[in-house]
A = this chain, B = another copy of it.
Amino acid sequence: MNYHNGVMEDHVYKQIELTGTSTTSIEDAVQRAIKRAHKTVRNMSWFQVVETRGSIDSGQIQHWQVSIKVGFALENS
């Protein structure tokens, strides 16, 4: 939970939990989750990884599934 910055105003923040998936890396899975959320959520400013999982097929990692909490300021707060 953080939401900090040079100039911290008296905002109220909301956190939501997302899971991104990627065939390549943990970082890519997180970026995909954030990119998708960016379509509808404004002001996202930080995230925290809460779980890293994945699916396996024939001894190969198929998908990385990374769950994050994302925080964003509520408008007019």
What residues of chain B lie closer than 8 Å to A47, measured between beta carbons? Answer: 53-54, 56, 61
Stoichiometry, as copies per complex, reads: 12
How many chain A residues touch B (CB < 8 A): the figure is 66
Q: Verify A64–B27 contact, CB threshold 8 A.
A: yes
Restricting to A21-59, which residues have a CB under 8 Å from any CB of B?
21-27, 30-39, 44-59
Restricting to A7-29, which residues have a CB under 8 Å from any CB of B?
7-8, 10-27
Q: Verify B36–A8 contact, CB threshold 8 A.
A: no
Interface centre among A26, A55, A62 (most CB of B within 10 A): A55
Q: With the chains together, A64 CA to B26 CA distance in Å?
A: 12
Residue ranges of A at the interface with B (Cβ–Cβ < 8 Å): 1-8, 10-27, 30-39, 44-65, 67, 69-71, 73-74, 76-77
